[in-house]
Structure 1
Amino acid sequence: MVSVCMASYRGEKYIAEQVTSILRQLDADDELVIVDDASPDATVDVVQAIGDPRIRIERNAVNQGYVRGFERAVGLARGEFVLLADQDDVWTSGRVDAMVTALADAKVVAGNYSVLGENGRIPARWPLTAEQSHRELANEFGILVGYRPYFGCAMGMRRDAVDDFLPVPAYFTESHDLWLAIVGNATRSIRHLPRVVVERRLHDANATPLRWRGIGQILRARIMIARGLIEARRRKRS
């Protein structure tokens, strides 16, 4: 069984297209778990109007942020394979099969993304390659300094990785995807898919910032990641 986990907020404009691209790849007994983070718009109504029994939607009473939304969605997932999805992208054909196959011998899988409408262009300067899968220390260094392009919208995990992933440390107020990448590398069980698994829609309302970050933000993020690297090793030993 495959569980797709999504956190939604103010997604009424694009979420139907993304949900449709996901459902097209799911079997009858799979599920799409959506945690809506108290959206003030019609996001929930748009999803409910799709009327597919594979969709499970939960609503937060108050806004908690997208990291907590994903954390809750993963906790609600029932499948052996848990794939993450953003609300405003489009999945590429064959993504589910490719990721499930990769998860046969790894706890975490990460693929590449292209930019929607740009004919498959991969914007990452150093895209993920299959050869990097077994270079965990190099991957962890890449996460710390910011050049390994791990994005949650292109990632997934196996059921036995959920206990490593949850709970997401409270100091991860952003970048749940980097926490998952840290978990996969710390447990020496991550696979990189060199193929594009999602077309990302880049716009100003994305959770991923399009603007340059200040030095203070960068330093806080690096400290957060360093703490995560230590925490993942602690969980591995326990």
Structure 2
Amino acid sequence: MISVCLASFNGEKYIKEQIDSILIQLGEDDELIVSDDGSTDKTLEIIREFDDQRIKLYENNKIHGYTHNFENALKHTSGDYIFFSDQDDIWLPNKVEIMLPHLVNDNFVISDGYITNEKLEIISRISSWRAYKKGYFQNLYKSIYAGCTSAFTKKIKEYVLPFPLTKYVQHDTWIGLLCELKFNVIYIEEPLILYRRHKTNTSSAGSKSTKAPFFMFKYRMILFFETLKRWIIRKF
């Protein structure tokens, strides 16, 4: 069984296209878990209009923020294989077919993707901004993980939950780094999504960091201690 986690927030402009591209790749027993973080536009209305039993919608009582909105979706999954999805991208038709066979032995699987503009005109690849290099410290220094390109197993889900409470830890980097420590990371060079760049993006794939050096140092130290703490707790 496949579970897809989608975190939504005021995504009325693009969310229908994204959900369409997901549902066509799912079987009857699979599920799309949508965690909504208090949308005030027509996002919820659009989701309900699908009237599809595979879509399970959870509305947050208070705003969780991007990372913990994904955590809420992840907590509600029941599938053996889990995919992450942003609300404004497009899954290419062979995404599930290509990634699913790699989800053996509890692998964490990521793929390349095409970066596009609002009209889905291809600009470049995610790998041109974030070329994958294997290893914990390599990715602690410069994370290549984009949650929207990732998939993993239920065992990994149980290992990474709960997410740290700190606001400095992003869900995709958190999961990716823990998998570098504990599991096997598989990188697929073929682009499997259209990653749409627009003015209201909440994730950062395809963009360069402009954060101050002190902030980045603090961010990496927090990530280091949080991942090390989880690894030690789960190990012993």
User: Under a length normalisation based on structure 1, what TM-score does the superposition of the two structures give?
Assistant: 0.89
Instruction: Return the offset for 1:174.
Output: 4.4
Inter-partner Cα distance in structure 2 for 1:32 and 1:173: 27
Name 2:26's counterpart in structure 1.
Answer: 26
Instruction: Return the offset for 1:59.
Output: 0.2
Q: Is residue 144 of structure 1 aligned with residue 140 of structure 2?
A: yes
Distance 1:120 1:79, change over 3 A: farther
- Report SS of the residue matched to 2:19: helix
Point out the more displaced range, 4-13 or 102-111. 102-111
User: Under a length normalisation based on structure 2, what TM-score does the superposition of the two structures give?
Assistant: 0.89
Inter-partner Cα distance in structure 2 for 1:141 and 1:118: 34
Name 1:72's counterpart in structure 2.
Answer: 72
Write out aligned runs for 1:22-61 (5 A): 22-61=22-61
Name 2:124's counterpart in structure 1.
Answer: 121
Cα RMSD after superposing both structures: 1.9
Q: Work out whether residues 12 and 42 of structure 1, in 8 Å CA contact, stay in contact via their aligned partners in 2.
A: yes
Instruction: Return the offset for 1:112.
Output: 1.3
Distance 1:172 1:189, change over 3 A: farther
Which residue of 217, 221, 224 corresponds with 1:223? 221
Write out aligned runs for 1:180-191 (5 A): 180-191=175-186
Which ranges of structure 2 fall in alignment gaps of 5 or more residues?
A: none
Q: Work out whether residues 106 and 155 of structure 2, in 8 Å CA contact, stay in contact via their aligned partners in 1.
A: no
Percent identity (aligned)? 27
Instruction: Return the offset for 1:142.
Output: 2.1
Q: Work out whether residues 3 and 82 of structure 1, in 8 Å CA contact, stay in contact via their aligned partners in 2.
A: yes
Inter-partner Cα distance in structure 1 for 2:215 and 2:50: 39
Q: Work out whether residues 168 and 222 of structure 2, in 8 Å CA contact, stay in contact via their aligned partners in 1.
A: no
Q: Work out whether residues 145 and 172 of structure 2, in 8 Å CA contact, stay in contact via their aligned partners in 1.
A: yes
Instruction: Return the offset for 1:109.
Output: 1.1
Measured against aligned partners, the alpha-carbon deviations of 1:129-162 in whole angstroms (never above 9, x if no partner) come to xxx5xx4xxx21222211x421000011101111
Inter-partner Cα distance in structure 1 for 2:47 and 2:162: 27
Q: Work out whether residues 108 and 151 of structure 2, in 8 Å CA contact, stay in contact via their aligned partners in 1.
A: yes
Number of residue-to-residue matches in the alignment = 229
Inter-partner Cα distance in structure 2 for 1:4 and 1:217: 32
Name 2:231's counterpart in structure 1.
Answer: 233
Point out the more displaced range, 148-157 or 76-85. 148-157
Q: Work out whether residues 114 and 120 of structure 1, in 8 Å CA contact, stay in contact via their aligned partners in 2.
A: yes
Amino acid at match of 1:106: D
Name 1:157's counterpart in structure 2.
Answer: 152
